[in-house]
Structure 1
Amino acid sequence: MADGGTEAAPNRAGRERIQRRLEALVLENRFTIAVIFPLVGAISLVGSAEGVIPEPLAYNPLLILFGTLVMRSPLVVGLLPRIGWRALGWLGLLTAYTYGVELLGVRTGWPYGDFEYAISLGPMLFGEIPLALPLFFVPLVLNAYLLTVLVFGQRAANPLVRLPAAVAAVVAVDLVLDPAAVSIGFWAFEAGVYYGVPLSNYVGWLLSGTVAVILIDLAFDREALLERVRECPFILDDLVSFVLLWGSINLLYGNWIAAAVAGVFCLGLLRTGRYDRTMIANAVPKGLRSRVLE
């Protein structure tokens, strides 16, 4: 009979090789993923909303999903070494919750307020909500949570600090997202005082964000997760993409408060100490580095 430890070692070595290759791929294309993709995305979405981009490229769901997957890749690759059975279980529960609360919201108007999807975001579950919904929602919560534990440092060891701060960050994410999404016609509310978004939407995000943050907190060993976040230079690049994409759209449509909140996220990212001038220069393709360093 083969020794279990002997069998496990090659498997572990194989996983580590794959992980190193994925990390190298992200690092080599960091500028493209975190800067070029969101800026091109912002231009194409605004062009679609303004009728400049013709069919079938306007609001093309395959392009939207592909772009989202690419921008999510730093977060996914960064977290892979910490995704075990425990994490999969809690994240699976979060995925089910994401579908459930969104379906409830579309059908009843609770907890977000009456809204509907105005464009196709790919295949629809029950013909009502995007099948890819967790791809859009769960990483937003993960980004808010990871930024919180990095910025708060040792204070994040206290759940009475960590959890409320992460929930506040999740709600702040939607203060950026929803005004921009409404402006480009992703979805529409019946009425709203905040750039077309009702205050009830943020009460809903406070509720759903609290549940999501608790589930993510349960999914990972906090110390092991924090160690991974500190050692992985690109794990928050998905948040950079988010700020560039939705912050740019808010600026273009004059949603000044939403754009300012995106600016606050920029300050939070700078506070982590990993997005300095040298890092940005190193992430830029070689042909552009001399211009960045000038």
Structure 2
Amino acid sequence: MADPGTRPDEVADSDSVSDPISETGERRAALERRLEALIRENRFTIAVVFPVIGAVTLVASAEGLLPRPLAYNPLLILFGTLVMRSPLVVGLLPRVDRRALACLGLVTAYTYAIELVGVRTGWPYGTFEYGIRLGPMLFGEIPLALPLFFVPLVLNAYLLTLLVLGGWSARPLVRIPTAIAAVVAVDLVLDPAAVAIGFWSYVPPGGYYGVPASNYVGWLLSGTVAALLVDRAFDRAALLERVRTCEFVLDDLVSFVVLWGAINVLYGNWLAASVAGLFCLGLFRTERYDRELLLTALPASVGRSRDS
């Protein structure tokens, strides 16, 4: 009720003043809805077409089949990576608050620090060197976009862990070790393929398709720190609900399996390709990737031709 001493025009003015916080929330929600619609309309292109093109161009670059301006073009690599990461980013956006930003910021800082130490000292991954420039290089030694490559891999592994474990994900002693194991398994797929196409190399080469065992000791350390921070970043119940209701949030993991799994197959890295196959089984177990969904995600014209 208005104060008796308040003039009617003052009441009208006060009612017309909107809450800035409310307006910000509405604008954010509207932006999130538009981004989600964009992802849904282009799921097949993002999750399948982009990684297939990426695998072809990267292998062609490694084999000297592309002209110099296109071979290992860092802008194309970064653009393709950003597109393939978009379902994960958009899917998690409604659950990103200050706590999440702080924890993910710590993961980012840790990613830079451990990689810089690794390049300069050989610890904990083993002595390695980059074969190409993955965009601008921080201190001339590590990719500036390194968190774009690493942090989503941890998030994908963690989210898949939540869905696959089901009710067991409520137990930290089950959830955390499983997430760490999933992060290390991601690199069992990534590193052999990356070595094969010349992204980086180890000195001396290791026994697992050129990758030494020390690399996986390093990933066990990195994965542990990153998984613990990611586990602290989000309210687990709210995150799990979002992951269960957002059908495209794991599409970035689909892109990962298609891209790096295909490269491993092309180079005969069969054990690494088999681990990629295990991730496929994990994705199928989430009960969100099947023939019906594939037809839904296909472009409209393709979907109609398949149904006819």
TM normalised by structure 2 equals 0.93
| 1:274 maps to 2:291 | no
- Tell whether 2:208 aligns with 1:205: no
Judged with a 3 Å threshold, the aligned counterparts in structure 2 of structure 1 residues 57 and 203 are, in CA distance, closer, same or farther, namely same
Give the structure-1-normalised TM-score: 0.98
Q: Mapping of 1:94-105 within 5 angstroms?
A: 94-105=107-118
* Identity across matched positions, percent: 70
Cα distance change on mapping 1:223 and 1:177 into 2, 3 Å? same
SS of equivalent residue, structure 1 residue 91:
helix
Q: Secondary structure at the match of 2:123?
A: coil
Q: Deviations over 1:253-287 (max 9, x none)?
A: 00000000000000000000000111111000111
Are 2:191 and 1:175 equivalent residues in the alignment? Answer: no
Of 146, 158, 161, the match for 2:159 = 146
Query: Which of the pair has more CA radius of gyration?
Result: 2
Specify the code of the residue in structure 2 equivalent to 1:31: F
Give the residue type in structure 1 aligned to 2:118: G
Q: For residue 257 of structure 1, what is the amino acid of its counterpart?
A: L
Counterpart CA distance in 1 for 2:198 and 2:306 is: 35
- Offset at residue 291 of structure 1 (A): 4.9
- Give the letter aligned to residue 88 of structure 1: L
Bigger mean CA deviation after superposition, 28-37 or 8-17: 8-17
Partner of 1:131: 144
Paired residue total: 294
- Asked whether 1:45 is paired with 2:45, we answer no
Residue 40 of structure 1 deviates from its aligned partner by: 0.1
Give the distance between the partners of 1:172 and 1:212, measured in 2 at CA.
Answer: 14
Amino acid at match of 2:64: G
Aligned-partner SS, 2:201 = strand
| Structure 1 CA distance for aligned equivalents of residues 39 and 59 of structure 2 | 27
Among candidates 222, 228, 240, match of residue 226 of structure 1: 240
Secondary structure of 1:51 counterpart: coil
The equivalent of 2:176 in structure 1 is: 163
Matches within 5 A, 1:114-129: 114-129=127-142
Aligned to 2:8: none
What's the counterpart of residue 243 of structure 1?
257
1-structure distance, mates of 2:14, 2:182:
50
Pick from 193, 212, 218: which aligns with 2:207?
Answer: 193
Unaligned runs of 5+ in 1: none
- Structure 2: state its 5+ residue gaps: 1-12
Matched to 1:113, the amino acid is G
Q: Aligned pair in 2 of structure 1 residues 75, 285: CA closer, same or farther (>3 Å)?
A: same
